[in-house]
């Protein structure tokens, strides 16, 4: 008798598609992008996808066994979460990231909130945001043939030209699922099968395009708009993430409003944010708006009149005030957010000039530290022109994400040149950018290094700022340093790594090598 009743929440209209069929259809629709991503990026991309899917399925299986629930992993939703997360990751990420992300997505976002259909945000996107916040550098490092490089959208935001055809096909370095063509094909198939709602997908794309046309700075230039649509996960987000049943509105009008919110926020983040992959956050925020959208926009029940709907909500003809309709916690949180935002904006406005002055003072102090005998510092026009040609881009192909920031000439009291101080930033630090000044005297000898930006892990990466590590560079006349991770270096050009902080140590060595290369290839030629 316990199997004769099927108890479920309203509405009770049955669709011709089963949950398992829908999940399999979504998996199949993502396979083209997965195959192309693996074919372009190599075997490591396959390992990232495999680890992500296996970790998601095993997490749900173990949770079901521990909680003594039916084996829900068989419906295929865990496979979708793992695969979707993998497609949003760089093909070069360490394998522990997709594993950790899948465990977070399934265990925390899905299972702890009741399982399939009970999650309040998209699990894969929540996991991606979790990884972005926790491992920012690892998540935003993209490589091609082992060389670090910026994503096409990052280049576009810097005003540089990009190849739209390659972006559409998924050829440039980006996430594994960067093939817009494959994502668009899979999404349109799901829409044609009526598995996903076109109101969501197309309202996201249209509102995002309109916003970028109005506020992107280049008007409705087709090439500019297509480049933004083809990058940054816009198509993937519109068709595969925003359309998640559990985290999207019920009514068609609500779905359009929801899509517009995501598209506008995605455009706002793209224009105003420094991050090129912030579309994930716009969908997560859109998910949080869904309960409020469903509260005010709900579909008309079958055979109901407007009067019946009014009676169902309360007294006939009566309408609740906006104050009574909005839950008190929503009001409180909104007020807190507004006050916090105004306060933070005010503090930033008041301290902006002071912070900039402190940065300039720190840079000047670092120059004096690496060239202590200099009485004054000047700029060279030829070197400045060479820096302008770099346009703040990554320097060379052998120094990771190192960027030459500034070069000054140190002169003594008589006006003679005693050396140069080169400010260089490495984007390969474990917890963010590392900026340092490298002093090089007239004989090409490194006089020292001094950090102006070092925010690594306390007790580990931060030890790179201690003399035991920094002083290894001083007094060395070499053209390139080599990092020795095992310690005990005896060679002139070898630098012992900070124990437990090889990532930070490698970033510093690359930065110093970039400064040396720029000195010998550009600065000496301008002298």
Q: DSSP for 103-118?
A: HIIIIIIIGGGTSTTT
Cα of 161 vs its chain's centroid, Å: 21
pTM surpassing 0.85? no
Cβ 59 vs Cβ 102: under 8 Å: yes
Cβ 454 vs Cβ 464: under 8 Å: yes
Q: Is the dihedral of CA 373, 379, 381, 382 positive or negative?
A: positive
- In the chain, count H helices and then E strands: 21, 9
Contacts of 20 (CB under 8 A, 6+ apart): 74, 75, 76
Contacts of 5 (CB under 8 A, 6+ apart): none
Burial of 305 (0-12, 13-18, 19+ CB in 10 A): exposed
Nearest-CA neighbor of 398 among 146, 173, 92, 141? 146
Nearest-CA neighbor of 403 among 387, 380, 419? 387
Q: How is residue 394 written in tokens?
A: 């990554």
Cβ 400 vs Cβ 507: under 8 Å: yes
CA pair distance 203, 396, nearest whole angstrom: 42
Alpha helices in 273-327 (DSSP H): 279-296, 306-313, 322-325
Q: Which domains does the chain have, with CATH numbers?
A: 19-326 (1.10.3430), 370-526 (no CATH)
CA pair distance 46, 58, nearest whole angstrom: 18
Q: What secondary structure does DSSP assign to 54-66, as a single string?
A: HHHHHHHHHHHHH
Contacts of 187 (CB under 8 A, 6+ apart): 29, 196, 201, 235, 238, 239, 240
Residue given tokens 């040609």 in the structure block: 389
Tens place of pLDDT per residue across the chain (527 aa): 445 555 555 555 555 667 788 889 999 999 999 999 999 888 989 999 999 999 999 999 999 889 888 878 788 889 999 999 999 998 888 899 999 999 999 999 998 888 887 888 899 989 998 888 888 767 776 554 444 455 666 666 656 667 788 888 887 667 898 889 999 999 999 999 988 888 999 999 999 999 988 888 788 888 888 888 888 789 999 999 999 888 889 888 889 999 999 999 988 888 876 555 678 888 988 898 888 888 888 766 665 555 555 555 554 444 555 555 555 655 665 666 567 666 666 665 677 677 677 777 778 888 898 999 888 888 888 888 888 888 778 888 889 889 999 999 999 888 889 999 999 999 888 777 899 999 999 888 999 999 988 888 777 888 898 999 999 999 999 999 999 888 787 888 899 998 888 888 999 999 999 999 999 998 887 66
At 425, phi and psi to the nearest 5? -115, 135
Q: How is residue 209 written in tokens?
A: 């395009």
Angle (nearest 5°) at CA 368 between 367 and 369: 90
């Amino acid at each position: 008798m316990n199997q004769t009743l099927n108890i479920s929440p309203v509405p009770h209209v049955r669709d011709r598609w089963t949950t398992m069929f829908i999940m399999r259809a979504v998996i199949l629709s993502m396979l083209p992008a997965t195959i192309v991503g693996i074919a372009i990026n190599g075997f490591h991309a396959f390992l990232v996808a495999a680890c992500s899917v296996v970790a998601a399925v095993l997490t749900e299986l173990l949770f079901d066994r521990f909680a003594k629930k039916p084996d829900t992993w068989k419906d295929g939703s865990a496979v979708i979460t793992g695969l979707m997360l993998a497609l949003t990751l760089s093909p070069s990420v360490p394998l522990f990231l997709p594993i950790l992300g899948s465990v977070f997505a399934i265990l925390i976002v899905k299972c702890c909130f009741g399982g399939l259909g009970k999650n309040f945000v998209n699990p894969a996107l929540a996991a991606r945001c979790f990884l972005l916040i926790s491992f920012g550098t690892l998540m935003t490092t993209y490589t091609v043939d082992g060389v670090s490089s910026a994503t096409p959208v990052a280049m576009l935001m810097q005003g540089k030209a990009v190849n739209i055809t390659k972006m559409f096909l998924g050829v440039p370095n980006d996430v594994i699922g960067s093939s817009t063509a494959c994502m668009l094909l899979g999404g349109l198939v799901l829409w044609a099968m009526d598995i996903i709602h076109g109101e969501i997908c197309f309202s996201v794309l249209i509102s995002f395009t309109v916003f970028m046309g109005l506020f992107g700075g280049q008007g409705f230039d087709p090439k500019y708009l297509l480049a933004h649509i083809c990058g940054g996960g816009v198509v993937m987000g519109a068709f595969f993430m925003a359309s998640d049943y559990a985290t999207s509105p019920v009514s068609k009008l609500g779905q359009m409003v929801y899509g517009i919110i995501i598209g506008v926020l995605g455009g706002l983040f793209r224009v105003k944010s420094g991050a090129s992959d912030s579309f994930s956050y716009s969908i997560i925020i859109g998910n949080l708006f869904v309960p409020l959208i469903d509260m005010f926009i709900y579909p008309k029940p079958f055979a109901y009149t407007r009067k019946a709907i009014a009676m169902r909500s309360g007294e006939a003809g009566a309408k609740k005030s906006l104050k009574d309709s909005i839950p008190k916690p929503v009001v409180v949180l909104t007020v807190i957010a507004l006050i916090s935002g105004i306060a933070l904006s005010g503090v930033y406005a008041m301290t902006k000039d002071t912070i900039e002055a402190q940065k300039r003072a720190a840079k000047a102090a670092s120059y004096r530290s690496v060239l202590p005998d200099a009485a004054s510092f000047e700029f060279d026009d030829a070197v400045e022109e060479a820096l302008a040609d770099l346009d703040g881009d990554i320097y060379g192909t052998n120094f990771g994400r190192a960027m030459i920031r500034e070069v000054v000439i140190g002169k003594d009291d008589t006006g003679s040149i005693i050396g140069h101080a080169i400010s260089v930033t490495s984007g390969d630090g474990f917890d963010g950018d590392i900026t340092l000044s490298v002093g090089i005297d007239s004989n090409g000898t490194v006089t020292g290094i001094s950090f102006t930006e070092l925010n690594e892990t306390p007790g580990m990466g931060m030890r790179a700022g201690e003399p035991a590590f920094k002083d290894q560079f001083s007094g060395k006349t070499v053209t390139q340093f080599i990092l020795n991770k095992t310690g005990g270096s005896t060679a002139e050009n070898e630098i012992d790594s900070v124990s437990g902080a090889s990532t930070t140590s490698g970033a510093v060595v690359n930065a110093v090598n970039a400064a040396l290369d720029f000195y010998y290839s550009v600065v000496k030629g301008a002298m």
